[in-house]
Amino acid sequence: MSIETEEKKAFWLPIVSALAIPFVIGVLHIRISRLFSVLVVSLMFLTPLIVFVRALSHYYGKSSTAQRPILRNFTLWPPFIIIPDGLERIRIPWVTLGLILFNCLIHVGANSTVYEVGMFLPMTQQPSCIHIALSLITCGFLHADISHIVDNMIFLWAFGTAVESRIGPWRFLHVYFFALISSSVLSELLLILKQLLLGEAFNLMDFHSLGASGAIAGITAVFAVRCYFSNVKIYIPFLFLPRPTVPVRLPSLLILGIFFAGDTLGSMQMLRNETQIDYWGHLGGYLAGFAAAYMMNLYRDSFMEAYQRKARYLAEKAKENKSAKEAYTEIFKRDEENLEALQKLFELNRFNEEKRGYYFSRLVTKLAREEFLEAARLVEEHFPKFLDFLPGDLLLKLGLYFSNTEQFDKAWVCLDRSCDKEGPWQPKALFNLAEVYRKMGRDELAKKVLERLAASFLWDPITEYARCRDSVARGGGRA
């Protein structure tokens, strides 16, 4: 699959799989709950077979005994918990962890008055417009009971950590509160629509909702767009027992699509009957999250990560895999600063010195900007190969580094190569090369380098400095 095809897939697949099809299923009243129950029961019957197959694969592939891999298939996770699988956390998700902690503290410390004032809509007599507006946010930190907050916080931890580490803390907060507010607003708008359609007379202020479900639904929608390529683990009870459970991997878009279809179906039922669950809030948060994800163009980041995972898989299959080279080359064309692409292209072009040197130069240059010691370590590892591919200013920095660490045999080579490359760094490279020669006891070479400096850069400040210092040194010798 080309990178252009992957980009189109990243744009359309979440819309079709996690939004359009589930919405149609919910609107047409297809019994999604029954379909989900059939799927879960089928997996529960299949768990012994799953464990057996995994044990055999470990036995013939990696492990000398079958008992150990069999035990590895069992966990003590609660049944039906859903967790994203195989996604790296790019940064620590402090905002997600802070939201979880804050929600838990509010749940422990809040009394009945806090609930009456903070839920949407407030239960106080004639609340002001400001009070109602604030309740759009405060309701997201109040939960009905322990199971309500535990379920919500598990989902927030599972999907929020993956989303925040990819879009950053500030955008995560924006999406979270945008989805939270949108969920309550849509609930109220649909309540008005229900009143108009059915002609029922009731006070809109009698509608109340609470919980972070709308905000979390928005985060799962962002996950569907940003991590459309991922799988999730769903923990299935073994032989209908609550413990142990067996993790089963399924496509994330399938599971999120099922949840959205269920919320859509529940929303349709809310138009006719009263329910204990605010499905409209779930629907509003999910749609807001989807809209925010596409407004932020997150699908562009997602297809790059998906294509990079594919390239990584191809590279691991065979070190000289032509498809892996092509995949990483496509990534490099889109993002010339992609560190993994540079590293892999340097490794995969081991029989092409010209290309290998080119990618080595780009890799060391990038590392030098971000982590110079890592760049120096890479140069040491391959020294003195590929030095001719490095730019003169970088060779000067490497020469100074090796000189300061008293690796003079490497320092003079880097500085000498830097001197041969035209640029504003040449006078400094010549001067420091002479210094290195002096430290090595090669005074004649140091003298020749200084003569070259004086002849080529007569009026350069470094030449003046070298000349003055040499004059002072000679004067001191005569005294």
The pLDDT-based confidence of 209 (bands split at 50, 70, 90) is: confident
Q: What is the pLDDT of residue 63?
A: 47
Structure token pair of residue 265: 């179906």
Between 126 and 185, the more confident residue is 185
Between 289 and 247, the more confident residue is 289
Query: What is the residue-wise DSSP string for 171-182?
Result: HHHHHHHHHHHH
Q: What is the pLDDT of residue 477?
A: 45
In total, the chain counts a number of residues equal to 479
The pLDDT-based confidence of 60 (bands split at 50, 70, 90) is: low
161 vs 100: CA distance, rounded Å = 11
Helix or strand run (H / E) with residue 96: helix 94-109
pLDDT (average), residues 112-126: 80
Q: What is the pLDDT of residue 479?
A: 34
Per-residue pLDDT of 85-103, as tens digits, reads 888 777 889 999 999 999 9
Residue 286 in this model has a pLDDT that exceeds 90: yes
The pLDDT-based confidence of 472 (bands split at 50, 70, 90) is: very low
Residue 279 in this model has a pLDDT that exceeds 70: yes
The pLDDT-based confidence of 285 (bands split at 50, 70, 90) is: very high
Q: What is the pLDDT of residue 398?
A: 95
Q: What is the pLDDT of residue 70?
A: 53
Q: What is the pLDDT of residue 67?
A: 45
Of the listed ranges 187-196, 228-237, 365-374, the least confidently predicted one is 187-196
Of the listed ranges 216-220, 308-312, 364-368, the least confidently predicted one is 308-312
Residue 281 in this model has a pLDDT that exceeds 80: yes
Report the candidate in 172, 154, 263 with the shortest Cα–Cα distance to residue 214.
Answer: 263
Residue 64 in this model has a pLDDT that exceeds 50: no
pLDDT (average), residues 55-78: 57
Task: Say what percent of the chain tops pLDDT 90.
Answer: 37
DSSP secondary structure code for residue 124 in this structure: S
Tell me the C-alpha to C-alpha distance, in Å, between residue 221 and each of 84, 143, 282, 293.
Answer: 13, 22, 11, 8
362 vs 281: CA distance, rounded Å = 49
pLDDT (average), residues 252-266: 88
Scan for tokens 């962890």, then name that residue. 97
CB atoms within 10 A of CB 80: 11
Cβ neighbors of 396 (< 8 A, separation 6 or more) are 414, 415, 418, 425, 428, 429, 432
426 vs 162: CA distance, rounded Å = 48
> Mean pLDDT of all residues in the chain?
83
Question: How wide is the angle at C-alpha 121 spanned by C-alphas 116 and 125, nearest 5°?
Answer: 60
For residue 119, the one-letter residue type is M
Judged by DSSP in three states, 320 sits in: coil
pLDDT (average), residues 61-82: 61
Task: Say what percent of the chain tops pLDDT 70.
Answer: 83
349 vs 422: CA distance, rounded Å = 29
Dihedral pair phi/psi, residue 296, rounded to 5°: -90, 0
pLDDT (average), residues 152-159: 92
What order do you get walking across the sheet with 82-85 strand by strand?
Answer: 82-85, 231-237, 245-251
The pLDDT-based confidence of 54 (bands split at 50, 70, 90) is: low
107 vs 116: CA distance, rounded Å = 14
Per-residue pLDDT of 348-406, as tens digits, reads 888 889 999 999 999 999 999 999 999 999 999 999 999 999 999 999 999 999 999 99
440 vs 136: CA distance, rounded Å = 73
Judged by DSSP in three states, 352 sits in: coil
